[in-house]
Amino acid sequence: MFEQFSHFFQILFTLCTDPSNLAVLFGASIMGIIFGSMPGLTATLGVALLTSLTYQFDTSTALIALLGLYVGAIYGGSYPAILLNIPGTPAAAATAMDGHPMAKRGEGGRALGLTTTASMIGTIIGLLFLVILAPVIATLALQFTSWEFFLLALFGILISGTLASSDMVVKGWIAGLIGLFLATVGRDALQFYPRYTFESSFLDSGLEIVPVLIAAFGIPQIIRVLSERQNLASNMQFGRVLPELSTLVRNAKHIFRSACIGVGIGSVPGVGEDIAGWVSYSTAKNTSKPEEQAKFGKGSETAIVSSETANNACIGGALIPLLSLGIPGSPPAAMLLGALLLHGVVPGPTIEVDHPGFLLEVTAIMIMASFAMWANGMLLAKQVVKLLYVPTPLFMPLIAVLCILGSYSLGLNLFNLYIMIPIGIAAYVLGEYKFPISPLVIGLVLGGMADESLRRALMLSDGSFLPMLQRPVALLLLVVIVYFVLAQIPAAKRAMRRLNPFIKTNKSLTTVN
């Protein structure tokens, strides 16, 4: 343990004492805050665009840039949420409920100070869970075979489809299956057989993840923002930014509970920071005293602290399955997975074997990123807010150019642009019909693992599924998946409700006997 701490502080000291690292970190953090603060831009899109720019960087510098932007963007969404009642990112939607009423009272600076500090605390608590849980999960995952990895990937796709869908659950599953299908394009990794390549050599290696993600998240956002023509200009008093220590102490229990909620939700594949913020907001309201509950929706400091702590703690939670199992916990984490693969780092149970000290390095970078976010938030809040007065339609053409450059720069390949446009338009159409995009992304990312694991397992068992039922962990995962699917089907739910009284009666008779 002492050796681990010593190694961690050694890595932290090395990273902190390099001026170029600090320049990249603070620059990426400011860029993330700008991305988060501009309605229509998201943390996922920011990470996607920056991934293509960091292709020439070494892995450590690229991670500093990407994680700095990720943390900054999740926090940056609180700016327009508080000052304009327009969440810059979905993660900040819950913050707008009470942040904007507080800003209308002339306490916009105080609200931003609370979100900044709560975000930093949430990120650090999330990291503690990451350091403690990731090695344990990775050790357990080393016992997994192809059956477990296939079922785990399938579970991730199904649960992300269920939780990310705002309409019908089946729409989330369909989006996940579309992503799964896209992952099968190209020659398969085991027998090198071409699938859906239409005899095109460009499709032999499959679809590049980064251009598809840029298309899926970038193009729909650009179309929506330009079509809505939002006017963000507004005049409002700002006030003091630095929060009082007594406020943080008074909300200590809400901060800790919200951090735990954020980590728990973040570790579920595909759910994301927005759901963490809403769940934490609701929990804080339900567990508060009646007089505090009455303040919710009217500028409650407890509500702001709870939602912001949870959405930033979600980052650490999302990194737990990403680094230990290779399964992203949120859309930005999915993009981060693509970036790691680009730099030759394959997340999973053997990551500490292939890259010793990688987990500690990520933790050190995240701590630096959270402090950079806090410093930027405190020092530059008033200046960054001025960006909100720039008409959004002027920003979006610039973002469109960055999307095109980001896709093209990956191997200087024009084919990336050819696939980006139709996928982007298809994602926009799916979004208009309430099909969530996150499951599609998770399906694309996990599809390769699901496909390869299932085919390998079937090859080893001569096409028999029986070995899957003979492994306890695989059987448990299968039962969870079947139960999870049945629980979403109305007919199955009605059947379960009818069976409940029968089961209770049988239990009572057994007890009496």
- Report whether pLDDT(350) > 70: yes
Query: Which pLDDT does position 388 carry in this prediction?
Result: 61
Neighbours of 200 (CB within 10 A): 10
Query: Which pLDDT does position 41 carry in this prediction?
Result: 66
Distance of CA 488 to the CA centre of its chain: 24
Distance of CA 174 to the CA centre of its chain: 20
Tens-digit pLDDT profile for residues 187-231: 887 888 888 888 888 888 888 777 787 778 778 877 877 776 655
Q: Is 289 helix (H, G, I), strand (E, B) or coil?
A: coil
Indicate the pTM of the whole model: 0.68
- Report whether pLDDT(510) > 60: no
Confidence of residue 87 (pLDDT cuts 50, 70, 90): low
Confidence of residue 320 (pLDDT cuts 50, 70, 90): confident
Query: Which pLDDT does position 263 carry in this prediction?
Result: 82
Query: Which pLDDT does position 1 carry in this prediction?
Result: 59
Please, is 6 exposed, middle or buried when counting C-beta atoms within 10 Å of its C-beta (0-12, 13-18, 19+)?
A: exposed
Tens-digit pLDDT profile for residues 268-308: 665 567 667 777 887 888 788 888 878 887 888 888 888 88
Q: Give the lowest-confidence range in 224-238, 320-334, 335-349.
A: 224-238
Note whether 317 and 329 are within 8 A (CB).
yes
User: Which pair of structure tokens corresponds to residue 219?
Assistant: 């193009």
Query: Which pLDDT does position 363 carry in this prediction?
Result: 84
Note whether 441 and 216 are within 8 A (CB).
yes
Q: Give the lowest-confidence range in 6-10, 134-138, 142-146.
A: 134-138
* Average pLDDT over all residues of the chain: 78
